[in-house]
Structure 1
Amino acid sequence: MKEIHNDSLRLQFIERSGYKALFSTEVVNDARLFHVEAGDFIVREGHQPLFLFYLVRGRARLYATQPNGRVSLIDFFAAPCFVGEIELVNQGHEPRDVQAIEECWCLALPMKSYRPLLLGDTLFLRNLCVALSQKNYRNIVSLTQNQSFPLVNRLAAFILLTQSGDVYDEKHTQAAEYMGVTYRHLLFVIAQLTREGLLQKQKSGYAIRNRKALVALAEEMEPAH
């Protein structure tokens, strides 16, 4: 992750993302701009973030290390959203790894100096509550889908969510655990999608060959259907 010292670009991201409207506190002058390459980390597990990040472009994944050492895939973030907001509100919260799926851009406020200001900013707190409620609702929908739809539909949606540059390369063990299925069942459905020409096995992961068909499978889980 690298800080970008380009004030024109920084102000463009602030303007286009509606960042300023999230706060009643004046934040524009102190907001910093960071660029994150795919695979790099925005937050590292066990290390309190120095900034409250606002993801303005890109997607990221959240990991947690279990007591037995196993690394579990927990959640996904897509712009626009805050990253590090739980650590802002609760300093005792144990940070987890947040890794960029693709190239990401983040605006950021220094955590130490802005914590007291933001915790007294009712507009920011209201927006944060809305964001957290939306995240909670999304997780409820995901849990319901896991219980109600075949793996082929859920895997199609998962592939579209996690792919980068039309390549799906999530670890099978973590993907199976995230979707609540066996490793064997996951491999069976991936093989099915490969036989049907939706995916193509390559050296690193699977290339998406029929995005339209994957989207159609994922959309079968939408309420309109």
Structure 2
Amino acid sequence: MEKISFQDFYKNKTLYSLPSLPQNVLETSFIVNFKHNETIIHENETLKNIYYIIDGKAKITDIQYNGKSILLQFLKNNDWIGELTILGVEERTKNVTSIGSVTCLMIPLDIVNQYLLTDITFFKELSVFLSKKLLDRSSHFSKNQSYDLKYRLATFLLESSNNDIYQESHIMVAEYLGVSYRHLLQIFSDFKSLGYIKKIGKNNYKINRQKLMEISIK
């Protein structure tokens, strides 16, 4: 992880969209850059910062009592990380891992407690974000029931790949998409035959973005 002050970053960079935050909060925040597959937040750690994704994407996973890792959700530009913890909704943090390079605004928790928890504008924006997050999860479950696996898998491959390289665990993906492991492997085999993906390592695939976009869920 690379970290610089927000002020230094702002002097030299053109920022993407940022949340509506007081100037004193921005001045005491940082810009952090994560490499591919780097942990942003560890599961069950004491939260020290919240994050706002400026550029990139990440995934949230949870370790079950039996040690199995479950994929919960993807994160993208303009998503918050750690917001449920500061609201007291989530007692324990979950694993958040970068997919490719990720740039985040990092706000120390003491600054959040001092300034943001009483800021009406911040809470309004956070409420809109949480509402959209709920709709996204509802849409995910709806799509799992409405679309054949090939369409959902095409969409998933596009979302989860890094520079068109896909590296996710088949077991975890089968559970996320609500299908059997055997069914998932069959569709993977079909995709390879059709030229949608090409295996380039033990668990790595090169995706054909153009072909997958033709059958992905819009």
Contact 1:3 1:34 in 2 (8 A): yes
Aligned-partner SS, 1:102 = strand
Correspondence for 1:163: 161
User: How big is the shift at 1:92?
Assistant: 5.8
Correspondence for 1:62: 60
Correspondence for 1:121: 119
User: How big is the shift at 1:147?
Assistant: 0.1
Would the alpha carbon gap of residues 67 and 214 (structure 1) be closer, same or farther in structure 2, given more than 3 Å must change?
Answer: same
Would the alpha carbon gap of residues 112 and 92 (structure 1) be closer, same or farther in structure 2, given more than 3 Å must change?
Answer: farther
Per-residue CA deviation, residues 30-84 of structure 1 (Å, 9 max, x unaligned), is 0111110011011000102211111101100000011111110110100111111
1:131-142 equivalences under 5 Å are: 131-142=129-140
Correspondence for 2:145: 147
Q: Match for 2:206: what amino acid?
A: A
Alignment root-mean-square deviation, CA: 1.8
User: How big is the shift at 1:136?
Assistant: 0.7
Aligned-partner SS, 1:73 = strand
1:14-29 equivalences under 5 Å are: 16-19=15-18, 22-24=20-22, 26-29=24-27
Residues paired across the two proteins, number:
217
Runs of 4+ in 1 over 6 A off after TM superposition: none
Aligned-partner SS, 2:176 = helix
Cα distance in 1 for partners of 2:11, 2:71 equals: 34
Question: Of 106, 125, 134, which aligns to 1:108?
Answer: 106
Correspondence for 1:77: 75
Contact 1:10 1:32 in 2 (8 A): no
Stretches of structure 1 that go unaligned for 5 or more consecutive residues are: none
Question: Of 76, 95, 98, which aligns to 2:96?
Answer: 98
What's the TM-score, normalizing by structure 1? 0.90
- What is the percentage of aligned positions where both structures have the same residue? 27
Correspondence for 1:51: 49
Contact 2:25 2:115 in 1 (8 A): no
Cα distance in 2 for partners of 1:91, 1:58 equals: 26
Cα distance in 2 for partners of 1:62, 1:111 equals: 20
Aligned-partner SS, 1:147 = helix
Q: Match for 2:126: what amino acid?
A: L
Would the alpha carbon gap of residues 61 and 205 (structure 1) be closer, same or farther in structure 2, given more than 3 Å must change?
Answer: same
Stretches of structure 2 that go unaligned for 5 or more consecutive residues are: none
Would the alpha carbon gap of residues 124 and 205 (structure 1) be closer, same or farther in structure 2, given more than 3 Å must change?
Answer: same
Contact 1:17 1:80 in 2 (8 A): no
Question: Of 194, 200, 204, which aligns to 2:192?
Answer: 194
- Which moved further from structure 2: 197-206 or 123-132? 197-206
Cα distance in 1 for partners of 2:111, 2:62 equals: 27
Contact 2:6 2:29 in 1 (8 A): no
What's the TM-score, normalizing by structure 2? 0.93
